[in-house]
Structure formats: C-alpha cells, structure tokens
C-alpha cells in the first residue's frame, strides 16, 4: 500500500508558529495556561502535553466519529446490494473499465472487487495514534497496526460482502498493503466474518500478472487478471485508482479519468468517503513528497478556490 499510505497528511507543529493572528485553537491553549496559573505545577502538566495542531484532525474526527460518515458508507453498500440481482441477471453487465476488459464475458462467473483500506477495513485508530503522538506515517508503525489485526469494518461493508457471497458471487479483495502483511490482513478480515473463499481472493502488491506490466502500485494488472476469470459486477474503493488507471494525477487529470464512467458511479462503481488521505492530496503538489512539508502545505492552500 505504498503510494496509498504515503498520502497520509502531515503533522505540522509549526502551523501556528509565526501567525500574527491567533487562531481559536491557540487562544484556547492560552486560556488554559492562564487558568492553570493558579493551579499547582503538577496540574499544569497536561498543557505541555497538548498535541500539536494537526491538519488531519477534523478530517479524522469526521471519518471516525460522525454519524454522517457512517450513513454515507452504509448508503453506498446498501445501494450496491439492492442492485446485485439485476447485475447478476444481465449477462452483459460488467464493471471493469473498458480498457481493462480484453476478453469476452460469456460464461465467466460473477465477482465483486473491493479495495481493503478505508473501503472494508477502518484504519482510523492508526491515524488517531499518529495525531496523538505527533508522528507521521511510516511503514514500521503501519505494519505494527496491521499486525494487531484490530481494524473494524467500514459500515455496511460486511453486510454487503456476506450478501454477495450468499448469492454465489466471488468476493475479491485488491489491496496495496505490503506482501508481508497479507496473512495479517486476511486474518483481520476473517475474524470480522468477511467471506474469504480461499487465499486467491486476496490480490496484494506484487501479484504477478502474465502479459501485464505492473506500473508501481497501480491496480490495473490485478483488475485485468480478475477480468480474465470473472465477470465483475461491481467495484468498491475510496480512491479513484481503485477503479481505473489515472494518466495524470492532477486535479483535472483525475476528473478526466472518471468522466467516461460518470454513469457507473452508484451503479457499478461505489466510492467510499475518505477525507483523511488519498491520491487527491499529492495531486496538488505534483506528487512530490520530497518537498518540505511547508511547501506541500502551501501548494494545497494555493489549490483552494477562494471565490
């Protein structure tokens, strides 16, 4: 899940430093300091431990605690479940991008394809820890989290997967988690009750696909592999790269990549909300994570619309 995870947002302890106008957050801290001035020294300790301001906090609070986030996910999966029978009946129905379908559909058994992180598994506790601890994403702490096998399901995902499996549809998971995390990922999914027909339903990074040249962590080859064996009824993801290849990861390029499939959204392709990380973020700074954090942040500010 390299590119995917690299897109985690940044800890920016300097965000308030040097600001001429004090933010409400800073004002609140000042108020607490003033209040604590009459308290004993030990009681003032929590102020020093206050986590630094983090650009990801509100996004994560929404993702993890808001009922709105839960309702959107449930709505997407319920809509999908309601359409499964029609998709099964229509033997010409296929949810693979047109340039990824090279073989005829005739006789292929049905499948649904789901991304894993923030599509079926909720990793928000990992991000909460990053904010609490003032840390950025790194592969080691991410691997530790995955190996806890403690991720909970994204609302609606488990019910949908069970319904699909119950109709004889193969449920396939395509993930960019590192290969050495495959077992922990499958165990996590199994413990939650997700249908895992066999080990082949999980296509992680490094899956070899004959006749297809893998481009980084793109999922195109793996989707083609699925297409050779199955008629894909639906796809699910929190990133547009979960559905199709992206020629240019810029804001405009991303819109263009999805434009031919606008009619498929909510019908064959189901997008789950994820405001906390994703390829939409580096799209604003030329996908160059080597830039200093402040420069990347400025590019994001520059990318906003002000009127």
For Mg ion, give the closer residue by CB, 118 or 231: 118
> Shortest approach of Mg ion to residue 277 CB, angstroms?
9
DSSP one-letter string for 20-69: SSPPHHHHHHHHHHHHHTTS-GGGGHHHHTPPPPBTTHHHHHHHHH-HHH
| Of 175, 173, 178, the residue nearest 140 (C-alpha) | 178
> To the nearest whole angstrom, how small is the minimum distance from the Cβ of residue 3 to Mg ion?
11
Total residues at interface with Mg ion (CB under 5 A): 5
Going by the DSSP 8-state scheme, the letter that residue 159 receives in this structure is H
Rounded least distance, CB 157 to Mg ion, Å = 12
CB of 237 to Mg ion, least distance (A): 6
> What is the dihedral sign for C-alpha 72, 304, 9, 235?
positive
Q: Cβ closer to Mg ion: 100 or 238?
A: 238
Which residue of this chain has its Cβ atom nearest to Mg ion in the complex?
117
Query: Judged by CB under 5 A, does residue 118 bind Mg ion?
Result: yes
- Give me the least distance between CB of 150 and Mg ion, in Å please: 17
Letters for 224-263 (x = contact with Mg ion by CB under 5 A, - = none) are --------------x-------------------------
Residue span binding Mg ion (CB under 5 A) among the ranges 31-39, 84-92, 111-119, 159-167:
111-119
Q: Is 122 in the site for Mg ion (CB under 5 A)?
A: no
Q: What is the dihedral of CA 101, 106, 108, 114, to 10 degrees?
A: 40
Report the alpha-carbon angle 168-169-170, nearest 5: 115
Minimum distance of Mg ion from residue 147's CB (angstroms): 18
Number of helices followed by number of strands (H, E) in the chain: 12, 7
d(CA 100, CA 211) in angstroms, rounded, equals: 13
Instruction: Tell me how far apart the 2 most distant CA atoms of the chain are, in Å.
Output: 78
Query: How far is it, in rounded angstroms, from Cα 125 to Cα 118?
Result: 12
CB of 239 to Mg ion, least distance (A): 6
Choice between 36 and 62, CB closer to Mg ion: 62
Q: Which of 244, 236, 223, 233 is nearest to 270 (CA)?
A: 236
Kindly tell me which residue out of 94, 100, 117, 122 binds Mg ion, with binding defined by CB under 5 A.
Answer: 117
Closest separation in Å from C-beta 206 to Mg ion: 17
- Interface with Mg ion includes 115 (CB under 5 A)? yes
Nearer to Mg ion, 224 or 235 (CB): 235
Is 100 or 115 the residue whose CB approaches Mg ion more closely?
A: 115
Spatial distance between the Cα atoms of 230 and 95, rounded to a whole number of angstroms: 11
Q: For Mg ion, which is the closer residue by CB, 10 or 174?
A: 174
Which is nearer to Mg ion, 15 or 171 (by Cβ)? 171
Integer-rounded Cα radius of gyration of the chain: 22
List residues binding Mg ion (CB under 5 A): 115, 117-119, 238
């Amino acid at each position: 899940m390299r590119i995917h995870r690299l897109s985690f947002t940044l800890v920016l302890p300097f965000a308030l430093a040097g600001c001429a106008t004090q933010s409400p957050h800073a004002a609140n801290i000042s108020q607490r300091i003033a209040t604590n001035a009459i308290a004993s020294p030990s009681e003032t300790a929590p102020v020093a431990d206050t986590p630094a301001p983090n650009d990801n906090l509100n996004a994560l609070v929404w993702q993890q605690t808001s009922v709105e986030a839960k309702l959107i996910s449930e709505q997407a999966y319920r809509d999908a479940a309601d359409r499964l029978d029609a998709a099964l009946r229509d033997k010409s129905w296929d949810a693979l991008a047109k340039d990824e379908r090279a073989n005829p559909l005739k006789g292929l058994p049905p499948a649904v394809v789901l991304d894993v992180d923030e599509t079926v598994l909720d990793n928000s506790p990992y991000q909460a820890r990053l904010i609490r601890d003032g840390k950025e994403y790194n592969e080691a702490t991410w691997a530790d989290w995955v190996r806890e096998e403690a991720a909970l399901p994204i609302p609606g995902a488990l019910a949908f997967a069970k319904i699909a499996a119950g109709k004889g549809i193969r449920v396939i998971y395509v993930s960019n988690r590192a290969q050495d995390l495959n077992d922990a990922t499958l165990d996590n999914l199994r413990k939650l009750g997700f249908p895992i027909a066999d080990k082949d339903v999980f296509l992680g990074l490094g899956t070899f696909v004959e006749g297809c040249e893998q481009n980084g962590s793109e999922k195109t080859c793996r989707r083609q592999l699925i297409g050779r064996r199955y008629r894909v009824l639906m796809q699910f993801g929190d990133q547009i790269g979960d559905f199709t290849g992206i020629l240019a990861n810029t804001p405009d390029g991303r819109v263009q990549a999805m434009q031919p499939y606008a009619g498929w959204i909510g019908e064959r392709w189901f997008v789950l909300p994820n405001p906390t990380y994703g390829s939409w973020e580096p799209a604003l700074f030329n996908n160059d994570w080597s830039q200093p954090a402040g420069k990347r942040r400025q590019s994001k500010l520059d990318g906003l619309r002000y009127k």
